[in-house]
Amino acid sequence: MTHQQMLDLIQQLNDYSYAYHVKDEPIVPDAVYDRDYRQLQSIEAEHPEWIQADSPTQRVGEKPDSGFTNVAHTVPMLSLDNAFDNESLADFDQRIRKLLNAEQVTYCCEPKLDGLAISLRYEEGRLVRGVTRGDGLSGEDITSNIKTIYSVPLKLRTKTPPAVLEVRGEIYMPKEGFEKLNALAVEQGEKTFVNPRNAAAGSLRQLDPKVTAKRPLVMCAYSIGYVEGWEQPESHYAGLLQLSEWGFRTNDLMITAEGAQGCIDYYEKLNEKRASLSYDIDGIVYKVDQIALQNQLGFIARAPRWAIARKFPAQEEMTRILGVDFQV
């Protein structure tokens, strides 16, 4: 096989993986993926000098020699103010309309996944670093573990990537993967995790990427952070669609809605769906969709004035563990 044929094989395998892990629409049976993957492994064994950074064989590397280093975020990872009821959502909308002197504001409404926040840095379209949120100003460099997650693209799916792109998102463990992981832990007489969020956190804290690679982790993008050499779209929602084209998983339940009522309707709808989702959510994040309006509104201390989280009632851990509903 020639060098170009190997490059085509890498592209083919990455296309299979994008379809399966990002779009949830597999285009080949697993056996085909495995056969092509093994073929790539044997070519790379024959020609190590041909190995590419975005080859799927490069997802599971060696342990970092000593722990995780601390890295400063280029742009802080901000926290969110909370709204606890519909009235405070209405107050949020009213405050914004007043500050903007606007009749009605369009919001981007996104499920708030119950996982860990992460910031990914791409240079010329290639993944160079993955950093945990930490205290918002700096976090731990867990790149070796991040690379093992199939829904994290090793290379952006575009020939004209931004010079620098930082993407923020959530790493989470779907409920089914969580149940299977705990069942296996019980079988092996090991510690079980209390909930998917803790299981995801524990999996990302592993020093050995080979352990993380065996954990069913998913990454969902929710924000463009720092960017260089690319004209950002005017709307946050359009920015997320662009991320999806570049190879990131975004949440298919996100919508744009008009005003406080649109946000309240979305809350009621999602609250009904919540128990049937394949992953845990702990609320909704509402964001002013127009970037120019976000910039006009700015931030209060470490939270944006233009975004707010609306939490669902805490899901009783006992309900989860015993499956008995304690809501009286």
Ligand X SMILES: CC(C)(CNC(=O)c1ccc(Oc2ccccc2)cc1)c1ccc2c(N)nc(N)nc2n1
Which residues have C-beta within 8 Å of that of residue 44, sequence separation ≥ 6? 6, 50, 51, 55, 57
Closest separation between CB of residue 20 and ligand X, Å?
23
Taking the alpha carbons of 258, 264, 267, 271 in that order, is the dihedral positive or negative?
negative
User: Would you count residue 257 as binding ligand X (CB under 6 A)?
Assistant: no
Distance from C-alpha of 37 to C-alpha of 10, rounded to nearest angstrom? 9
Residue 269 designated active-site? no
For residues 204-221, one letter each, b for 16 or more C-beta atoms within 10 angstroms of the residue's C-beta and e for the rest, the string is: bebeebebbbebbbbbbb
222, 246, 267, 279: which one binds ligand X (CB under 6 A): 222
Measured from the CB atom, is 300 or 324 closer to ligand X?
Answer: 300
Interacting positions 35-94 with ligand X (CB under 6 A): 75-78, 80
112, 147, 155, 287: the active-site residue: 112
Interacting positions 283-302 with ligand X (CB under 6 A): 285, 287, 299
Measured from the CB atom, is 6 or 281 closer to ligand X?
Answer: 281
17, 151, 212, 223: which one binds ligand X (CB under 6 A): 223
Measured from the CB atom, is 215 or 310 closer to ligand X?
Answer: 310
Measured from the CB atom, is 213 or 285 closer to ligand X?
Answer: 285
181, 199, 307, 308: which one binds ligand X (CB under 6 A): 307
110, 141, 166, 280: which one binds ligand X (CB under 6 A): 110
Stretch that binds ligand X, among 17-25, 27-35, 211-219, 222-230 (CB under 6 A): 222-230
User: Would you count residue 141 as binding ligand X (CB under 6 A)?
Assistant: no
Instruction: Name the amino acid, one letter, at 328.
Output: V
Distance from C-alpha of 58 to C-alpha of 122, rounded to nearest angstrom? 16
Distance from C-alpha of 76 to C-alpha of 204, rounded to nearest angstrom? 21
User: Would you count residue 156 as binding ligand X (CB under 6 A)?
Assistant: no
User: Would you count residue 170 as binding ligand X (CB under 6 A)?
Assistant: yes
Distance from C-alpha of 91 to C-alpha of 242, rounded to nearest angstrom? 31
Among candidate residues 217, 215, 210, the one with its CA nearest the CA of residue 63: 210
Distance from C-alpha of 146 to C-alpha of 51, rounded to nearest angstrom? 20
**Helix ranges (DSSP H) in the chain:** 3-17, 30-46, 86-100, 143-146, 175-187, 196-204, 209-212, 236-245, 259-273, 291-297, 317-322
Measured from the CB atom, is 113 or 154 closer to ligand X?
Answer: 113
List residues near ligand X by CB under 6 A.
Answer: 75-78, 80, 110, 112, 168, 170, 222-223, 225, 285, 287, 299, 304, 307
Catalytic positions, please?
A: 112
